[in-house]
Amino acid sequence: MRLFILSLLMVVGTAYATIDAYEFDDYEKEQRFRALIGELRCPKCQNQNISDSNAGLAKDIKDRAYRLINEGKSNQEITGYMVERYGDFITYRPPMKPSTWFLWFGPFVLTSLAIVILLIRKLKAKPPEPVSVDAAKHKKVEDLLKKLDD
Amino acid sequence: MSRTRLLLFSLPLLAFLVMGYFFLRALNSDPSLLPSTRIDQRVPAFTLPSLMDARAMISEQDVKGPLLLNVWATWCPSCKVEHPVLNELSKNGIRIVGLNYKDVREAAIKYLEFNGNPYQENIYDEAGDLGLDLGVYGAPETFLIDAEGVIRYRHVGVVTPENWRELLWPKWQEMGGKGP
């Protein structure tokens, strides 16, 4: 049994190794590569980054990114390089420009608007009128309370 | 009801209408269609072998139109659908250059022998390098290239007699292309 589990573990180990086909001579580059392929979106598969995708195109883009990193390009340069080819679609961080302003500022604008409206309502609301009770009623309530206490 | 209250109450309705407009637009648009970033740019520099002759090299200098640059492969089912259309266009004098994309050379040659060859020349892009530089994200794709080697239009998906007539033919004429 133990042998069986051990052999299973070995199978898993090799499967993982084949996924990780990109080798780097320096740790910093590897970290950058991982961050980069997590942020690039696969143009073929709508909503997957190229790190998760098994599409042939995702592999091509990974290969190109790998080459560019080893040529000494920064992540920003590589993202720009890919946007030049595939457009803004390829990055999960949309650039700031007039057509994306709503995307970037919309939530903040709407939240501030809601806060302003709530504040105005709060300030405009009339303070509650003090409750006035005449002496006789007051006396009655006091008596009832006393009764409860006894 | 006071004016400000009316305004306040109409806000949600307004928000609904605005959102509804965008949702309705999203319903009718195909999210898998990406605009090409290469429009009005030159065909990127490349040097790749010809499909038919591995020793003959093709470069961007050879891709000057007016011509159609058609991205295809034997593994692409939609390419089989548009192949007869390309054959027809070629017969009518439209110049078509093929970009054989991530394919196997022997299979591609056999495919052309069997289905007819509408391509004046075929670029053999085994690794998909030129494809990546062109922003190709699937096959088939068809680029309209003018006489200066500038990309004028990209069509994603199958070329059909209908979209050739209505969409591509006017663009083809616009960039000085002749034909039927």
Report strand pairing: B96-101 vs B47-49: unpaired
Q: What is the largest CA-CA distance in chain B?
A: 83
Span A49-65, pLDDT tens digits: 999 998 899 999 999 99
Q: Is A64 in contact with B132 (Cβ distance < 8 A)? A: yes
Average pLDDT, chain B: 93
The structure tokens 């604008």 sit at A109
Cα angle B140-B100-A54, degrees, rounded to a multiple of 5: 65
List chain A residues with CB under 8 Å of B132. 60-61, 64, 85
Least confident of A127-136, B45-54, B96-105: A127-136
Residue B82 pLDDT: 96
Q: Is A86 in contact with B128 (Cβ distance < 8 A)? A: no
Residue B28 pLDDT: 83
Torsion of Cα atoms, A95 then B142 then A37 then A41, to 10°: 50
Residue A17 pLDDT: 39
Alpha carbon distances (Å) from B140 to A11, A81, B70, B110, B155? 38, 23, 7, 19, 9
List chain A residues with CB under 8 Å of B35. 87
Span A70-127, pLDDT tens digits: 999 999 999 999 999 999 889 988 888 888 888 889 999 999 999 999 999 989 888 7
Compute the distance between CA of residue A117 and CA of residue B21 in angstroms, rounded to an integer.
Answer: 25
* DSSP-assigned beta bridge partners for residue B98: B70, B122
Q: What is the mean pLDDT of residues A137-149?
A: 89
List chain B residues with CB under 8 Å of A87. 34-37, 135
Q: What residues of chain B have any CB closer than 8 angstroms to a CB in chain A?
A: 8, 31-32, 34-38, 102, 127-128, 131-135, 137-138
List chain B residues with CB under 8 Å of A117. 8
Looking at the complex, report in whole angstroms how far the Cα of residue A94 sits from the nearest Cα belonging to chain B.
15
Compute the distance between CA of residue B68 and CA of residue A83 in angstroms, rounded to an integer.
Answer: 24
Q: What is the mean pLDDT of residues B31-40?
A: 86
Residue A131 pLDDT: 80
Least confident of A113-127, B23-37, B79-93, B114-128: B23-37
Span B58-95, pLDDT tens digits: 999 999 989 999 999 999 999 999 999 999 999 999 99
Residues 6+ positions from B90 with CB-CB distance below 8 Å: B96, B118, B119, B120
Q: Check whether B31 has a pLDDT greater than 60.
A: yes
Reported confidence tier of residue B122, pLDDT bands at 50, 70, 90: very high
Span A8-52, pLDDT tens digits: 555 554 444 334 589 998 899 999 999 999 999 999 887 899 999
Alpha carbon distances (Å) from A51 to A20, A98, A100? 10, 30, 25
Residue A46 pLDDT: 77
Residue B107 pLDDT: 96
Residues 6+ positions from A58 with CB-CB distance below 8 Å: A42, A44, A45, A48, A50
List chain B residues with CB under 8 Å of A86. 34, 37, 135, 137
Burial of B172 (0-12, 13-18, 19+ CB in 10 A): buried
Q: Is A64 in contact with B37 (Cβ distance < 8 A)? A: no
Q: What residues of chain A have any CB closer than 8 angstroms to a CB in chain B?
A: 43-44, 46, 56-57, 60-61, 64, 83-87, 89, 117
**3-state SS, one letter per residue, for A65-86:** HHHHHHCCCCHHHHHHHHHHHH
Residue A2 pLDDT: 66
> How large a percentage of chain B has pLDDT more than 90?
81
Residues 6+ positions from A22 with CB-CB distance below 8 Å: A30, A33, A62, A66
List chain B residues with CB under 8 Å of A83. 37
Residue A19 pLDDT: 45
CB-nearest to A89 from B34, B128, B133 is: B34
Query: How far is the first Cα of chain B from the last one, in angstroms, to the nearest whole number?
Result: 68
Residue B65 pLDDT: 81
Span B142-178, pLDDT tens digits: 999 999 999 999 999 999 999 999 999 999 999 988 7
Q: Is B128 in contact with A60 (Cβ distance < 8 A)? A: yes
Residue A99 pLDDT: 81
Best of A60, A119, A121 to disrupt the B interface by mutation (most B CBs within 10 Å)? A60
Interface confidence, given as ipTM, is 0.82
Q: Is A85 in contact with B133 (Cβ distance < 8 A)? A: yes
